[in-house]
A and B are shown apart, each in its own frame.
Chain A
Amino acid sequence: MSEPLLEVRDLSRMFGGIRAVEGLSFDAERGRVTGLIGPNGAGKTTVFNLITAVYKPTSGSIRLGGTDLAGRRPDEVVRSGVSRTFQNIRLFNRMTCLENVMTPILARASCGPIASLFGTPSARREQSEARERAYAIMRDIGIEESAHRAASTLPYGLQRKLEIARAIACSPSLLLLDEPAAGMNDSETRELGETIVRIRHDFDVTILLIEHHIQLIMNICAHIVVMERGALLASGSPDEIREDPRVVDAYLGRHRDRRSAR
C-alpha cells in the first residue's frame, strides 16, 4: 500500500485546562473514505479545526502527503490541498450558488488588482474559466438548476450539497466532511452516500468523514477511526469496528441505549 495522504501523530489540543484532543494518531489512506466517529464531545470537530489550522495544536504533528502543515494559516492549508464543510452550514448566503462555487476558484486565480481594475483579457479569461469549472462541479453534484439562486434560499439538503460543491472547488486532495447527513432522512442520506462515493471517484479526493449516521459510515467507509474523550479508542475496517467490544460499549452501545430511552 502506498503511503497515507494524511498522517496525524500524537495530536493534542488543550482549551484552558480541558484536553479536547489527546495523543491522537491516525492515517487517512489515499483515495479512500475514512470515517471519524465517536460520541458527542469526543473532539471530532476539533480534529477538523486542527487539520485546517483554525486552532493550533498544543503538540503533535499533521502531515499531508509527507509535508508538515505546522505553522500554516488556514488559507494556506486550503491551498496545500485540504478543504472542508462545516457542522452548522456556512455558506455565502446572499451570493448565488454559482458565486459560492466560483469563489474558491477565483481565490486561487493569479491576476492582480490592477489587471482586474482594467478588465484585461487575461482577467476575463480567468473569470470565464472559473465559471466553466464551477458549472462542471455543480453538474456533478446535481445542483446546477439552482445556479442563480441565492444560497440562503435553497432547501436544507441542497445547502449541504452546495457546501460540498464549494469545498470541491478548492481542488482539494483531502476533503473533510463534518456531519453532512445531519438533519437528513434515510432516503436523502442514502443519496448523499452515493454522492460522496461519486465525488471521491470523479474528483480523485481522499475523504475524511465525521458522521453520526452509523449506516452511512458502515456503507461507504473503507476505514473507521473511533474517538472517545479526545483520544483514539479503536480503528479498523467497518467489520472490525462492528465487532470491537470497546466500541460497542462506549459508542454503539450508548447509542442504542439512547434510542431505547426515547
Chain B
Amino acid sequence: MDYYLNIVLLAFINMIAVLGVAVFTGFTGLFSLGHAAFVGIGAYTAGALTYHWDVPFIIAILAGMAMAGLSSLIIGIPTLRAKLRSDYFAIAILGFGEALRVCLENLSITNGARGLSLDELSGPVWVTAVLAVSLLLTRNLLKSRFGAMFMSIREDPVAAEMAGINLFRTRLLSLVASAMLCGVSGALLAHRLAFIQPVMFTLTQSTQLLASVIAGGMGSVSGPIIISFVFTVLPEALRWLDMWRLPAYGLLLVVIMIYRPQGLMGYREISGLFRGRSR
C-alpha cells in the first residue's frame, strides 16, 4: 500500500508543476524548455532551509515558491520585454535552466552535484492539501480578468495589445505565477524523495512538463493533469514500462501533432470548473 501511496503522491506533486506550465503555455501561449529549473529552485530553497536551519516546513514551501517566482523575474524581465520569437524564448529559458543547474552543482550550500539528503516531510496530508489549494487558486486566477488577458494573448498578441493589454506585464505575471507553482512542486518533491540532486532538474524534465501540457491539451487544466497522472503512475506501477515512458512521451507528441493537435482536452475541461466565467 505504501508503495502505491508513494506513487500517487509523486503524481500529485508533479501535477502542481504541470499546472504551472499549463498556465504559462496552455493559457498564455508561451513555450518554455526550462520550467524544471523553477522546480529545482523551489526544491533547493526549501531543502536548504530545512537542512541547514530546521525551518518549519510550511515556511520552507512558501520560501521555495517565492524564490522560484523571484528567479523567474531574472529571465522573464529581459526576454519578455524584448518580445522574442516563441522558439527563441523557449531556448533562452532553457539556457537559464542549464546555467542555473551548473550553479547548483558548484555551490556549497546545495552540497554540489552529490546532492542533499533531506527529511521526508511531504506526507499525504501535506501533498493533498497543497495540491487542493493550488488547484483552487489557479482556477480563480484563470477565471479572473487575468485569465481572460492570458488567453487573449495566446490567441493573438497583436489584437490583445490593441485591446489595451500590456503584453510585457501580463506575460510576466503568467510566468511568475507558473514559476511559483513549479517552486511549490519542487519544495514538496524534495521532501517526498528525501534526496535532491541538480541532475533531477534538466531539459528532460522540462520537456516532460511541456509534453504533458501539449498532450493534455492547450487551454485546458484537466487534460494536462490527467496526462501527467497517467504518465507518472503507469510506469511506476508497471515496472517494465518505466524504460519506455520517455520514448512513449516522445511518440505521443508526434502522433498528437499529426492526428489531434488540440491534445486530449484541447480548450475544454471535463467539468465547468475552470471555465464558465461567461456562461
Interface residues of A (CB under 8 A from B): 52, 54, 73-75, 78-79, 83-84, 86, 90-96, 98-100, 102-104, 106-109, 111, 113, 116-119, 123, 126-127, 130-131, 147-148, 166-167, 169-170
Contact = CB atoms under 8 A, between A and B. Distances in A.
Nearest to B159: A90
Residue of A54, A95, A96 with most partner-chain B CB within 10 A: A95
Given A75-B165, A99-B148, A127-B145, A113 B156 contact: no
Nearest to B170: A107
Contact of B173 (A91, A111, A113, A147): A113
Contacts of B166: 73, 75
B213 to A, nearest CB: 16
A75 B155 contact: no
A107 B151 CA distance: 12
B140 interface: yes
A211 to B, nearest CB: 19
B272 interface: no
B243 to A, nearest CB: 37
B149 A75 contact: no
Contacts of A148: 278-279
B141 A75 contact: no
Contact of B164 (A79, A91, A118, A119): A79
Given A52-B162, A75-B164, A78-B164, A106 B155 contact: no
Contacts of A131: 278
Given A93-B155, A131-B278, A170-B164, A103 B148 contact: yes
A143 to B, nearest CB: 14
In the complex, the 3 A-B pairs of residues with the closest C-beta atoms, listed nearest first: A116-B144, A106-B145, A92-B155
B114 interface: no
B186 interface: no
A169 B161 CA distance: 14
A136 B59 CA distance: 48
A107 B145 contact: yes
B267 A107 contact: no
8 contacts: A73-B166, A75-B166, A78-B161, A92-B159, A103-B149, A103-B160, A111-B145, A123-B145
B90 interface: no
Given A106-B149, A116-B146, A127-B277, A90 B158 contact: yes
Contacts of A91: 155-156, 159
B267 A116 contact: no
Nearest to A130: B145
B135 interface: no
Interface string B151-179: 11001101111111111000001000100
A117 B133 CA distance: 11
B13 to A, nearest CB: 21
B16 to A, nearest CB: 16
Nearest to A152: B155
A107 B278 contact: no
A116 B167 contact: no
A204 B141 CA distance: 34
A113 B278 contact: no
B155 A116 contact: no
Nearest to B145: A106
Interface in B115-159: 137, 140-141, 143-146, 148-149, 151-152, 155-156, 158-159
